[in-house]
Amino acid sequence: MTDPRAPERIVRRFARASNLMIAGRPFAVRGEGSADLHALLARLGGIPSPSPATGRVEFDLDADTTTLDGVPLPERGDAAGRIAFARTHMPVAAALAERLDLTGLRVGVAMVLEPKTAVLSLLLRARGAEVSVYAHPDETDAAVADELRARGFAVTADPALAGAEERAAALGFLRAGLDVLLDDGAHLVRLAHEDDPALVDGWIGACEETTSGLAPLRRMHDAGMLRCAVMAVNDARTKTMFDNRYGTGQSCVFAIADLLEERGIALTDQPALVIGYGPVGQGVAAHLRALGAEVRIAETDPVRALEARHDGFATGAARELASGALVVSATGVPATVTPEIAAGARIIAVAGGVPGEVSDAGAALLLGGGGAVNITAAEGNPIEIMDLSFAVQLAALGELLSRRPAPGVHALDAGVDDLVARTALVVRGADLDAPRVLDADGLDDWRSPRYRGGAA
């Protein structure tokens, strides 16, 4: 393997072909030049596995083949094939769905519409729910939308809509009537409150899975404006720790590298600036560094800036570090990339993101139209990551139905994280030590062991 960028291309090719995760996946590499690919996979969080293991990917460089669990990586084909492939790799969400009885419940799914969301919709319907699906125009895979319509779902999703037509379509989805809404970004929850607050009065509640969505909902609650219960899916560790950090990190960085390669630009040809060092920024920075980029961090939170430095990244003001750089906004805050920042940047992209995160790209190359680059230019977060996120969504739905909480933003029971994580470990063939059993009082031995030997 004489091309120093060949390992990166092989890994990205696998991710594009499968929409599967690298981090946490067992792998094996053989053939000439395997050491470099092995090292890259390890930097990305792959687990070296010389023996067969659940979910192991094997790269044979001499034969130029890739196998998954010992069989050639399948062609996913059309929308139906991509949905079927995703379904086989989402056992955690399937297990959590089995715990629910949704007979007769009207559930609205307002999320990025791609194969994983289709699987979630199918799981909900299989448990008895009447499921309707909404997606914003720039977050719609038209082929997946058509496939769900062919299977009898009411789908409101049209990439051609904009402005007043987009708003009217969203309101039409809400006015059709819901008992529960699964939202992403809280866009539909907020629209309902803005246009006709009575729309939410009949809801049991909603589940919100993003940081950028929960923040305004909490402000609405503090102002006495929130009229429905909302389960804070995003706050679950099994959502944020994996979806935001590993999923968005891989999918956005790989999408950026793919787009740059189409233009004859190597990811490592320029320094990179990541603005924001929350879980998304941490994941983006780690994946950029794994691929060989020189990464810098700009952060307004002093604790996160200090954390970035301890993770080995240079930190400073965005307007200074942006000069000649690939700038990746990872804040989920509108107008993060100002004209002043853009003026010095060479390339700009948004990871995750909200509308208007780039206020003005100026002369910089803007990737993915300024939207979330893993959605506008790729297939969203990897399947196993969304398996975890949607498992948390389903657990949150179960809590919402059983608890029927008052209007407000509500945390999930702490047991949800344990349930989702243990289920994921089991299906991935991993063992877990049993927790230590305390004494009957739950205190174990509270006395300090340092002084026991000197007791009178």
Neighbouring residues of 371: CB distance < 8 A, sequence distance ≥ 6: 138, 350, 353, 355
Q: What is the dihedral sign for C-alpha 187, 193, 199, 204?
A: positive
Q: Does one domain contain both 28 and 112?
A: no
Same domain, 270 and 249: yes
Q: Is residue 449 part of a domain?
A: no
Q: What is the CATH number of the domain that holds 213?
A: 3.40.50.1480
Same domain, 229 and 289: no
Q: Which domain holds residue 201?
A: 80-235+382-423
Between strands 106-110 and 180-183, the pairing is parallel
Beta strands in 363-422 (DSSP E): 365-366, 408-410
Note the pLDDT tens digit of each residue in 299-313: 999 999 999 999 999
Number of structural domains the chain divides into? 3
- Residue 440 inside a domain? The answer is no
Same domain, 308 and 284: yes
452 occurs within a structural domain: no
- Tell which of 44, 72, 100 closes a domain: 72
Angle between helices 383-403 and 415-427 in degrees, nearest 10? 140
Identify whether residues 196 and 251 lie together within a single domain. Answer: no
| Within-domain flag for 430 | no
Q: Which two tokens stand for residue 164?
A: 């007043």
**Does residue 440 register a pLDDT over 70?**
no
Please give the average per-residue pLDDT across 387-415, as a whole number: 97
Report d(CA 134, CA 141) in Å as an integer.
Answer: 12
DSSP string, 255-318: HHHHHHHHTT--GGGS-EEEE--SHHHHHHHHHHHHTT--EEEE-SSHHHHHHHHHTT-EE--H
Mean pLDDT in residue range 329-358: 94
Residue 231 lies in a domain: yes
Pair 213, 344 in one domain: no
User: Of 126-135, 194-203, 326-335, 424-433, which gets the smallest average pLDDT?
Assistant: 424-433
Residue 250 and residue 212 share a domain: no
Close Cβ partners of 150 (under 8 Å, ≥ 6 residues apart) = none
Is pLDDT above 70 for 79? yes
86 and 162: one domain?
yes
Does residue 265 lie in a domain region?
Answer: yes
- 308 and 329 in a single domain? The answer is yes
> What average pLDDT does the segment 1-30 reach?
94
Is 288 in contact with 274 (CB distance < 8 Å)? Answer: yes
